[in-house]
Amino acid sequence: MGFDFKDIIEISSEGIVIINKNLNIVYLNSKAKDILGLRNKYDISHKKGILEKGDIIIIGDTSFGDDDGGLNSKDLIKLGLNIQINKGDFFLFIGRYGYGGKCNYGRPASAVCRLEDKINNNNFLVEIDYSKKVVNININGINIPYEFIKSVGHMVILDNDLNLKFYQSKGYTIRGESIREILLGKEFMEKSKDEYFEINVLNRKIDEVFKEGNIYNYVNKVITTKEVIKSIYDEINKLPVRCSFYNIDDFVVVKIEDISEIKKLHQERLELLREISKFSIINNNFYFGKTNQMKQIEKYIHQIAKLDGTILLLGESGTGKSSLAKHIHQISGRKGEFVEINCGAIPEALIESELFGYTKGAFTGALSKGKKGLIECADGGTVFLDEIAELPLNLQVKLLDVIQNRRVKPIGSNEYIEVDVRFICATNKEIHERVKQGMFREDLYYRINVFPIKLPALRERKEDLYDLIYFITREICNKYGVPTKKISNAAYYKLYNYDFPGNIRELENILERAINLSITDTIEVDDILLDFTKSVERRKLKDILEETEKSIITEALKRNNGDKKKTMEELGIKKSAFYEKLKKYDIC
């Protein structure tokens, strides 16, 4: 035929990487090189070089310490800055290497964070637009943008004559050109305009190329077990990918699909969301957030989603248990329906027939053909039993049999019907206390408590508040067919200082009301209507005062660029008391 396997693999729309038993890369196609950032075509050129003292630097970092090489506050001394920045904060900088400059950082208070400055009568601007997912660096009207999915650390370097020395581009992780590496003296590579630049990784170990995610672990597993592993979701260069791993002779073939290219699907999803109003606004896209607790929950869910064991979701009302249950079903691989049943909303007289169904003539008023129960309707899928603690005692034993034996017996029938159902249960009650009080069967409790997950209250994950506001606002605006509205700093801080007794559900209601009240493209502080009476009732005065004190100290430190002496003087606090408060509130 005159061609080999490489001819076929090269035209594949998915990335293909072939690895030998020694964990060396022996082949990869062009699509894999593009996904990995190994092959790039540049619009602007610059020579190779290093950062030198006095060079002009502009930085736009969407999430400090994440996709910037692990940048930390100590590294900023190289810029001439002595400040403390929390991981996950945004960071903007315009200045000269080694001599300091102007910066802005913290939690985003609106969809766009920006910084402007002049150096030698030249205009510089850097802004992060979270709604459009782009970081723009502008030099005298010339834009050098960088689009992102999750996070990015964008940087431009100029010499004193404003000649371009370096700009960030796709694939900087594998090139070793993150912000941190360059600040610490790493040489950056040349970029040639309109020419493809390619990094050769043949015969290199895969852990040198796949520096993040779990791809290395899966390759190792396939080499050892010879099994096929399909549809594993991971990240490469902070972009979402779906990978499958195949064993062929003594080689592992990795198929990589770039799932960040989903603009068409995303638009279809938004159209669908406009039509589906019966679900929670954030129903199909559960936002886990950045807190350690939620990251652990996300990791745990991905471990158990495809298993059959029952999940018990715990947490206050409005924390997103229903949305999380839908998310688990979506990633479980189950092909059947997701059926949600609120055990507290169905009258006790009807709940048995609704759950288990009934046969013809089972009772007076029964349909002539009988009726399938909701559990049977979910065959092959997932049953979500919300408010499980409200289930009557007499039905708990019947539910126990269903969960244990995967079968249902309709009312009026002597025969069981086999069902393949995964159960997810939820409650905002202290269910173990109900067991002690004899209101909930102990054997059923242990059967549903195989994989317990407790969702934190919104007031316990305030660092996720800005992202939640943006996400929910976008979905509400899509629902009403209007452009996504921004939120002013004052409106954001009003929400930040609120306790949210109703959690995420209350936040949804507040934002929906604010969007309808707002007469401009920005939600202002007067558009935010809160019920502070409920909020204060749930918190002790001591907690409110401590939270306020911590916030005041943190903001004062930021204003004084981390200078503790100036902060003490500004606040009128003695040195010993000041340092006691830093220790008490864990302020660096």
Structure tokens at 86: 């929390």
Where b means 16+ CB within 10 Å and e means fewer, 155-170 reads bbbbeeeeebbbbbbb
Q: How do residues 262-299 score in pLDDT, each as one tens digit?
A: 434 444 444 444 333 333 333 345 778 878 888 899 99
d(CA 403, CA 396): 11
| Among the listed residues 460, 421, 539, the one whose alpha carbon sits nearest the alpha carbon of residue 297 | 460
* 340 strand-pairing partners: 384
Give the chain's residues under pLDDT 50.
Answer: 1-3, 262-284, 535-539
Query: What pLDDT sits at residue 3?
Result: 46
**Judging by beta carbons within 10 Å of its beta carbon (0-12, 13-18, 19+), is residue 250 exposed, middle or buried?**
exposed
Residue with tokens 């302020």: 587
Q: How do residues 74-127 score in pLDDT, each as one tens digit?
A: 999 999 999 999 888 899 999 999 898 999 998 876 778 889 999 988 999 999
**Judging by beta carbons within 10 Å of its beta carbon (0-12, 13-18, 19+), is residue 8 exposed, middle or buried?**
exposed
Residue 271's SS3 state is helix
Q: Taking each helix axis from N to C terminus, what angle separates 465-480 and 263-275, rounded to the nearest 10 degrees? A: 70
Cα 508 to Cα 204, 298, 473, 500, distances in angstroms: 50, 22, 8, 11
- Output the CA angle 327-329-331, nearest 5 degrees: 70
Structure tokens at 46: 């610059």
Domains and CATH numbers, the chain: 5-38+200-258 (3.30.450.20), 39-198 (no CATH), 292-454 (3.40.50.300), 458-537 (1.10.8.60), 541-584 (1.10.10)
Alpha helices in 422-540 (DSSP H): 431-436, 442-448, 465-480, 489-496, 503-517, 532-537
Query: What pLDDT sits at residue 7?
Result: 67
Query: What pLDDT sits at residue 40?
Result: 64
d(CA 154, CA 23): 32
Query: What pLDDT sits at residue 193?
Result: 67
The helix (H) or strand (E) run that includes residue 59 is strand 56-61
Structure tokens at 258: 């770039």
User: What is the pLDDT of the chain when averaged over all its residues?
Assistant: 82
DSSP state of 322: H
**Residues for the chain: how many in total?**
588
The answer to pTM > 0.85 is no
Query: What pLDDT sits at residue 273?
Result: 40
d(CA 103, CA 81): 9
Count of H-run helices and E-run strands, the chain: 21, 27
